[in-house]
Every structure is written in structure tokens, then in C-alpha cells.
Amino acid sequence: MIHTENKGEWFELTVPKNWQGHTITKVFKEIWMAPKKQIHYLRMNKQVRLNGESANWEQELNAHDKLQIQLFIDIPMNLVPFYKDLNIIYEDSHLLVVNKPANMSTHPNSPEETDSLSNAVAYHLLAQGEARKIKHIHRLDKDTTGAILFAKHDLMGSMLDGMLEKREIKRTYLALVHGLLKQKKGEIHLPIGRDRHHPTRRRVSPSGQDAITHFEVLKKDIKKNTTLIKCSLDTGRTHQIRVHLSHIGHPLVGDNLYGGQPIFLRPALHAVKMEFLHPFTMEEIVCHAPFLDEPPIFQEIDPYDL
């Protein structure tokens, strides 16, 4: 782990041994994957110091140097704050993971929409004295519940975006599907594109984007002809799990858009677990999202066993 400390507006990191000889530029560009525009802004505004002095970005670092970044500046919020009691799974000065309830958008889809999860996170931060420009790193469908990751400042947003692109943020889902799957484990590797005949639906399409879903059977209910499965994604396409499972003949229970029957009032899908290394400290973060309003068979699974 890398030692870090907050000092007012400044975030301080103790340079680890394996950064010995790196320049500050290399740390930002190659280790933290910050974009050029962001690096330029930090340089021009003198928001990076080394051992308390204005930083020379091309100076080689030594182990135990103190790298300081002015990250905790109050800025105008990019969202209208909206109060809702949130189930926060993990939070620190840089990021937070929230357990999203059903029937709530991840982010506003129009200027008039102010009751999304992102708006509620903005309220949460403001209530604890953090005026920040938050960013959702990924999204869940309106009726899908579970863990969503947010960044509290631009640098963390860029770092997490890079990790997501490199598949370094692992997400595990629980899904209840129609039918009894014969395979204990499997992989669905089929491209997904828009359905030209429907404004919101997606479909498996040869011209679509590459998409890979892994699944594992957890429980079968022979009487109800349903199967509870665990899924993980190598890609994050819109409606990916819903489209893939429907395509192989096992649509999600409650997913009327893709052929599911309304024995549950929404698609039975929950983002139950998220795992990643903290970009600053390299600490392993494992978040389990408690069940909020799931079918009873979900309650038979301990999220901590997944």
C-alpha cells in the first residue's frame, strides 16, 4: 500500500520505492493515466508540489518524497442536489460506491431531470461540506439495482475511466432467468448493436460492438422453471446481460423488453459486487451491495460468498 494523507485542500502521497527515478510527468501520464489537458491545467495552476515546494515536473522522484496535489477545492456543482437516503457501501475523499435502488436513473437524461442517483450523490457530498464535481464511472439501467462507482474529482475520474477501459474494475451481477440452464458455467461472446425497429432495445448484431458475458449457475427452482446465475462482464454494452441471456433463450424474469414474464415487476438483476485496486493507495477495495428489493431466491445467497 502507498501511504497518503489529506492536508486541507491538499492531498499528500509518500512516493513508494518502485517510483524511484520516475518524473512527476511519468506518474501522471503513465501510472495515473491523466489526460494531457488535465496535466496542463494542474501545471499551469501550480496545483502540484514536491516536498512543499512548487514542483519541477521533470525532476526524478526519490522514495519517501512527499508529492502534494491540490484536489480538494470547492467548485460549483455540476448537478442539482436532490435529497434521498443513500445506501453507501464505500467512501473516501476521492471516490464512493453507492447501492442504487430500483426505479432511479444513474444520471440525468435531460436538464429537467433532477432526481437521479447522481443528483442524490451531489446532495450527499454537499451535506458533508464537499462541493465537488462528481462523475459516475459506469451506469446501471433505471430498474437495475446494485453497486455504482463515482469519482469526487476530475483526476480520480480520469484514473477510474482508464481502469474501466483496461478491465481493472471487476463487477459481479446476480440475475434470475427463465428456464433451467443446462451448463454449469458458460461464456456468451456475441456483438451487440441497436435494434432499428425499437428506440431503446438492443440486439445481437454482426455489425454491433464486441460483448462478452460470463455466467455461472448458483440455484435452480424447478417448480418455477427459473435459474439464479452469477454474471461478470468483459465489456460494458448497454443492456448487455439482458440481451445476451435473452438471445440464448433465458431472458431475465420481469424483463418485458426482452421476453421476460412479469412474475417480478422489473428485470431481476442486481450488481452485487465490485472489486478494484484504489488508484492512489493500491489497496484492494471489495464492495458488496446488500439486496434492496430482489426476488426471494436472491435472499438465499450470501453476497460475501460470491
Kindly list the catalytic residues.
141
Gap between the terminal Cα atoms of the chain: 25
Which H or E run includes 246?
A: helix 240-247
DSSP state of 36: H
Residue-wise burial string across 140-175, b where 16 or more C-beta atoms lie within 10 A, e elsewhere = bbbbbbbbbbbbbbbbbbbbbbebbeeeebebbbbb
Nine-digit cell string for 264: 417480478
Residue pair 181/52 in contact (Cβ under 8 Å)? The answer is no
Beta carbons within 8 Å of 257's beta carbon, 6+ residues apart: 200, 201, 239, 242, 267
Torsions phi, psi of 119, nearest 5? -65, -40
Distance, in Å, from the CA atom of 81 to the CA atom of 84, rounded to the nearest integer, reads 10
Strands 135-136 and 48-50: unpaired
Give how far Cα 203 sits from Cα of 175, 245, 269, Å. 19, 11, 18
